[in-house]
Amino acid sequence: MKIDDVKTIGVVGAGQMGRGIAQVCAAAGWRVLLVDVTEEALKDAIKKIGQAVTKAVEKGALRPDQAGAVLALIRPMRSLEQLVEAQVVIEAVPEDRVMKQEVFAKLGRICDPATILSSNTSSISIASLGVASGRADRVVGIHFMNPVPVMRLVEVVRGVETSERTLTLALELVRRLGKTPVVCKDFPGFIVNRVLIPMINEAIFALEDGVALAESIDLAMVEGANHPVGPLALADRIGLDTVLAICEVLYQDLGDPKFCPCPLLRKYVEAGWLGRKSGRGFYIYDEQPALNAS
């Protein structure tokens, strides 16, 4: 399959990543089938995409007619079955290996044999998703950064069985989105999270040890290390459940105690303090929490 053959992209999971991926794919002119298991998540996604494109019009980044076109290209739905129409599928369900394998097994049965299946996973093995799908040569990692419409980097992850043609198509797709692809091998955490997550985890250890307040830790890294946002505020933005899940995968799959998740992170997740999306993490947020629970 060539990039010009791609007319419809399926996005599975309409959470903070899925809705951003749907938005940028529609902005590039593709028809998007956006699937989620909950009606609330779909409604919330369409609302937030609407707000994002309105903001883009206000900033002059998008013409009003383009904003309408983006929304018109996105079709929300509850069932995977209609993904039979998609030439490319991008999965963005929670960072849970078993859940993702189940989705890939279903996609393998539903989608056209030529369809390329990809995952936005931050840390889970692309090879294992390939095996679950029954078409490992047509499975690739397409790992967007958060927030998707803003961040330029996309890691394109080559599983051991990913074919050259699949990799090439993924790279062309990323470039058509106006983003910068970086190819990497299928190792836990790929590049960005292997470096970023241990830093966030260490910031949480520093908070737990009482080294400083959350605000001071973040300010220190912004002013002292020139980071655009502090590690604890960033963790809240990523979602503490996602940070914990990535940390667990790094710890288990690389077998190095340096990746062991901080107990405070685990406690916050157990308490339902998931960061911005639940209204509370290392900071408290006024904004209405997004509805992500299945």
| Residues near ligand NAD, by CB under 6 A | 12-18, 35-38, 41, 92-95, 99, 103, 120-122, 143-144, 146, 238-239, 242, 277, 292, 294
95 is in an annotated binding site: yes
Does the active-site annotation cover 143?
yes
36 is in an annotated binding site: yes
Q: Which of 118, 119, 120, 122 is catalytic?
A: 122
**CB nearer ligand NAD, residue 98 or residue 284:** 98
185 is in an annotated binding site: no
In the chain, the amino acid numbered 275 is: G
The answer for residues whose C-beta is within 8 angstroms of residue 180's C-beta and 6 or more apart is 152, 153, 154, 174
Q: Which of 143, 201, 278, 292 is catalytic?
A: 143
Q: Which of 91, 118, 155, 201 is catalytic?
A: 155
**CB nearer ligand NAD, residue 35 or residue 200:** 35
**Taking each helix axis from N to C terminus, what angle separates 39-58 and 64-72, rounded to the nearest 10 degrees?**
160
Query: What are 158's two structure tokens?
Result: 């080559």
Minimum CB separation of residue 60 from ligand NAD in Å reads 27
Query: What are 45's two structure tokens?
Result: 């996604």
Closest residue to ligand NAD, Cβ-based?
Answer: 15
Q: Return d(Cα 105, Cα 102) in angstroms, integer.
A: 5
Closest CA to 95 of 250, 256, 267, 280: 250
Does the active-site annotation cover 193?
yes
Minimum CB separation of residue 15 from ligand NAD in Å reads 2
Closest CA to 158 of 176, 134, 131, 139: 139
**CB nearer ligand NAD, residue 166 or residue 242:** 242
| Strands ordered across the beta sheet of 31-35 | 74-77, 31-35, 8-12, 88-91, 116-119, 139-144, 153-158, 180-185
Minimum CB separation of residue 249 from ligand NAD in Å reads 9
Minimum CB separation of residue 193 from ligand NAD in Å reads 8
The answer for residues whose C-beta is within 8 angstroms of residue 179's C-beta and 6 or more apart is 24, 144, 151, 152, 153, 154
Does the active-site annotation cover 39?
no
277 is in an annotated binding site: yes
Query: What are 49's two structure tokens?
Result: 């995409």
Q: Return d(Cα 189, Cα 32) in angstroms, integer.
A: 27
Residue numbers in the known binding site for NAD(+) are 13-18, 36, 95, 100, 122, 146, 277
Residue numbers in the known binding site are 13-18, 36, 95, 100, 122, 146, 277
Residues labelled as active-site residues = 122, 143, 155, 193
